[in-house]
Amino acid sequence: MEDSRETSPSSNNSSEELSSALKLSKGMSIFLDILRRADKNDDGKLSFEEFKAYFADGVLSGEELHELFHTIDTHNTNNLDTEELCEYFSQHLGEYENVLAALEDLNLSILKAMGKTKK
Ligand SMILES: [Ca+2]
């Protein structure tokens, strides 16, 4: 039995298209937020240094990061701009969508937990 949906007033009988569009923009806004945070010098682009510094968390190796960076850098400028990133992520967002949504949920859970433990 799983009836843990007390927070949603009405369940999912409305259009699925709407909810998937909502999820997409939710993922995108998180991704733009990531870009803003990763862009240390605020020029609206990610250099490989910025990219590496932000994403080098042990999940991807330096080589993998380098490969990913050049995959996204379609203009070969050694800088990822918003356009390139949007292009890349909108093509691959299907794969990342769940991750991004999960990350946001995780953030919320952490914030909630912190609020609860901090008395
Ligand atoms: Ca930058």
Torsion over CA of 37, 116, 57 and 29, rounded to 10 degrees? Answer: -40
Looking at residue 42, its pLDDT comes to 92
Mean pLDDT, range 85-110, rounded to an integer: 77
The fold adopted by the segment(s) 24-117 is: Recoverin; domain 1 (1.10.238)
Mean pLDDT, residues 8-20 taken together? 57
**pLDDT above 90: residue 47:** yes
- Its pTM stands at 0.54
Cα 36 to averaged position of ligand 1 atoms, centre (Å): 9
Higher per-residue confidence, 19 vs 45: 45
**pLDDT in the model for residue 34:** 78
Q: How many whole angstroms from 80 Cα to the centroid of ligand 1?
A: 8
Answer whether 54's CB lies under 8 Å from 38's CB.
Answer: yes
Reply yes or no on whether the pLDDT at 65 is more than 80. Answer: yes
